[in-house]
Structure 1
């Protein structure tokens, strides 16, 4: 089988497409034939060597945190999944993987997958796994969003941001999206009641907000100051400056900056499937790449500035078409 693997820490060109043995599932595991995987910040952190304590220093290292595909084999003790089931899921973000989501096959514990939405292709489903689950955790478990609250989504054009806009809107919130001006129409269609140009907006001139979802990680104290009494803020960025701001904000109690590490399991993925099935969440894909172009996809991800996800098509016709929704 073919698999994208990191051969050394560095720029995207350290990624190679290797021929390797197809893995076999052990007790409690499933083997999935992968149809799609997406590019996420976690992939960049692993490839750059910034999380060596997690990834280790032994190569090769697998590429791809998430995946969607079809179960082709189950290990002993697996009862909830059958061969032929269409599923989506993730590899464990804090363990080393020689093979990961950007491969023709991947083995994972059965509690890391759930039935994928029937209405989505493998590529479409893969685009929602990490962004959708992260946004759902932030809004429900971390923030506890309620109807009619005023929500600011900062970095609204990315994978987490587009999902947060849609989910917050479906929960009855009034959503303000902060992103590049060129994405205003698309974000409005996703549920944003107001879209602000990030290049022409300063924190001091907006708000107040009941909830702020941050996917950028800079100027966190300035944005935290825009919270209303009893407001809550969460960031998905764990950089040095962000962690310092989070620590210093602890004196503000309810208005402190919260953070978390998303690690979706079956129950959360089932909830995410329900939101897709209810029409509350849809894929936002910027570009689809064949497996051979994983390095190109990571390069494009790091450049930023686009609406939606960079997705890797593993199975089926390898296309490079772009799609908005």
Structure 2
């Protein structure tokens, strides 16, 4: 089978599509015929060698955190999963894999996948798995949005940002989206009550906000100052400066910056599918690449300025 793999740490050109043996599911595992994956920040930092403590120094390493496809086989002990069923899910983000979601077949634990939303193609489903789960955890679990809050989504045009705008709107938040001005029409259509151009809007002239969802990971203290007293700020962009800001606010101050690791399980993916079915959440896709061009998808991701996600079509 074909699989995209990291052959050494570095720029996107270290990615290769290789012929590898088709894996077999073990106990409590499921073999999925993957049809689509997407490019996530996790994929980029693993490829660049920024988390070697986790990914190790043995190559090749699989890439692609998320996937959507069809169940091809189940291992011993698996219940409630049917061969031929359309599913979506993730590989384990903190384990080294020879193949990831960007492969014709992927083996995962049964608790890392769930039925994909009905009437949605794998190309539409895959980009929502990580981005949608991250946004849902941020809003539901980390800042505990209840409705009526003034919510700022920073980096609103990206994968997590577009999902956060939609879900915050669905949860009753009054959403301000901070992004490039050219994304204003898109974000308004997703539910933003207000769209501000981050290039021309000084941070000290916006807000205050009851909640801030940050997907950028820089200048956190500047935006933290725009929180109402006691308001939470959550970031998914974990740069060194972001970690320092998070540590500082855990010691003092009423405006806390929080971080988390999105690692969806079957239950959360089921909840996410419910938001899709209800119409509260839809995918935003910037571009679609064949598996052979996955390096180009990574290059486009690193250039930034995107609307939503870059999708990789795998199709066995």
Q: C-alpha displacement at 1:239, in angstroms?
A: 1.1
User: Moved runs in structure 1, 4+ residues, more than 3 A?
Assistant: 251-254
Partner residue of 2:180? 180
How many pairs are equivalent? 316
Deviation of 1:254 after TM superposition, in Å, equals 4.9
Q: Deviations over 1:2-23 (max 9, x none)?
A: 0000111111111110011100
Q: For each residue in 1:44-83, what CA deviation from the matched residue of structure 2 results, as whole angstroms up to 9, or x when unmatched?
A: 1111111111111000000100000000100001011010
Q: Determine the C-alpha separation between the residues in 1 that align with 2:73 and 2:312.
A: 23
| 2:51 aligned residue | 51
Residue 204 of structure 2 is matched in structure 1 by 204
1:251 to partner: Cα distance? 3.6
- Distance in 1 (alpha carbons) for counterparts of 2:301 and 2:207: 30
- Deviation per CA, 1:252-289: give whole Å up to 9, x if none: 45521000011111111011000000100000000000
Q: Is the 8 A contact 1:151 1:173 kept in 2?
A: yes
TM-score using structure 1 length: 0.96
Indicate the residue corresponding to 2:282 in structure 1: 282
Partners of 1:98 and 1:136 lie apart in 2 by 29
SS in 2 for 1:248: helix
Change (3 A) 1:161 1:216: same
Corresponding residue for residue 314 of structure 1:
314
Distance 1:93 1:100 in 2: 10
The alignment status of 1:97 with 2:97, answered yes or no, reads yes
* CA–CA distance in structure 2, aligned partners of residues 305 and 152 of structure 1: 19
C-alpha offsets along residues 87-117 of structure 1, whole Å, 9 cap, x if unaligned? Answer: 1000000000001000000000000000100
Q: Distance in 1 between matches of 2:310 and 2:7?
A: 22
The CA deviation at 1:193 is 0.3
Cα distance in structure 2, aligned partners of 1:106 and 1:165: 31
Q: Which residue of 2 aligns with 1:29?
A: 29
Aligned to 1:189: 189
Shift of 1:42: 0.6
**Aligned partners of 1:220 and 1:20: how far apart in 2?**
43
- Structure 2: gaps of 5 or more residues: none
After TM superposition, the structure 1 = structure 2 runs for residues 108-187 of structure 1, keeping only pairs within 5 Å, are: 108-187=108-187
Q: In structure 1, what is the Cα distance between the partners aligned to 2:181 and 2:48?
A: 30
- TM-score normalised by structure 2 residue count: 0.99
> Quick one: distance in 2 between partners of 1:292 and 1:312?
9
Query: 1:65-84 maps to which residues of 2 (within 5 A)?
Result: 65-84=65-84
Distance (Å, rounded) in 2 between the aligned partners of 1:59 and 1:15? 11
Per-residue deviation, 1:223: 0.6
Contact 1:65-1:90 at 8 Å conserved across structures: yes
